[in-house]
Chains A and B, each alone.
Chain A
């Protein structure tokens, strides 16, 4: 008896198809929009990117032309932070990706050693 673990290790719960029958695809109407949670996540990402873009544009491009005693300036950090914060965020993101990558490579090496 051969035994192997396929990718389809997840349980196919309760789906019993009648023997020998194959479900036919309806005409052209088998395309649906993404499920609800996917749509929510996608739209959240779009909204977040729009927010970040607008805030950063105002901060970097518009503020120098606004008088120093205008009330808008209190909503924004001092100007050098407009460069420091993205740099720090980029470094953090890159190191997170790099360490994840290194971790996965290490796991692979350990597995190969014990085999």
Chain B
């Protein structure tokens, strides 16, 4: 079974359970408070996923490793290559 089918199956199961619980298709006795929580559950999961993504991206941006020496060296090499090519008649604008 492909990954897509697995994911769709999982999502389908979750949504099915949610639908059964919210529209009283199953004889489950839920207190009104829990019913409220279940009703919002899919949106809550979506929001948590969005927050997790934002946090991961932010954290990776903050802890990204800059290599300043390598950057300087690269600039120097670019300058050298430029001069070398200019000598050989290639104009870079």
Which of A58-66, A69-77, A98-106 binds B? A58-66
Secondary structure type dominating chain B contacts: helix
B5 proximal to A (CB < 8 A): no
* Residues of the B chain whose Cβ atoms lie less than 8 Å from the Cβ of A5: 92-93
Q: Count chain A residues whose beta carbon lies closer than 8 angstroms to a beta carbon of B.
A: 46
* Residues of the B chain whose Cβ atoms lie less than 8 Å from the Cβ of A53: 47-48, 51
Distance in Å: Cβ of A26 to nearest Cβ of chain B: 6
Expressed in whole angstroms, the Cα–Cα distance for A26 and B78 within the complex equals 20
Kindly supply a per-residue 1/0 record for chain A positions 1-35, scoring 1 wherever the CB is within 8 Å of any chain B CB and 0 otherwise: 11111101100100111000011011000111111
Q: Are A45 and B58 in contact (CB under 8 A)?
A: yes
Q: Count chain B residues whose beta carbon lies closer than 8 angstroms to a beta carbon of A.
A: 43
* Residues of the A chain whose Cβ atoms lie less than 8 Å from the Cβ of B82: 8, 12
Q: Give the contacting residue for A42; candidates B40, B61, B68; CB below 8 A.
A: B61
A110 proximal to B (CB < 8 A): no
B77 proximal to A (CB < 8 A): yes
* Residues of the A chain whose Cβ atoms lie less than 8 Å from the Cβ of B80: 17
* Residues of the A chain whose Cβ atoms lie less than 8 Å from the Cβ of B37: 60-61, 64
* Residues of the A chain whose Cβ atoms lie less than 8 Å from the Cβ of B43: 60, 82-83, 86-87
A43 proximal to B (CB < 8 A): yes
Q: Are B63 and A33 in contact (CB under 8 A)?
A: yes
Q: Are B55 and A22 in contact (CB under 8 A)?
A: no
A49 proximal to B (CB < 8 A): yes
* Residues of the A chain whose Cβ atoms lie less than 8 Å from the Cβ of B24: none
CB neighbors of A among B30-70 (8 A): 32-34, 36-37, 40, 43-44, 46-48, 51-52, 54-55, 57-70
Kindly supply a per-residue 1/0 record for chain B positions 62-92, scoring 1 wherever the CB is within 8 Å of any chain A CB and 0 otherwise: 1111111110110111111010000001111
Distance in Å: Cβ of A100 to nearest Cβ of chain B: 18
B residues with a Cβ closer than 8 A to A are: 32-34, 36-37, 40, 43-44, 46-48, 51-52, 54-55, 57-70, 72-73, 75-80, 82, 89-93
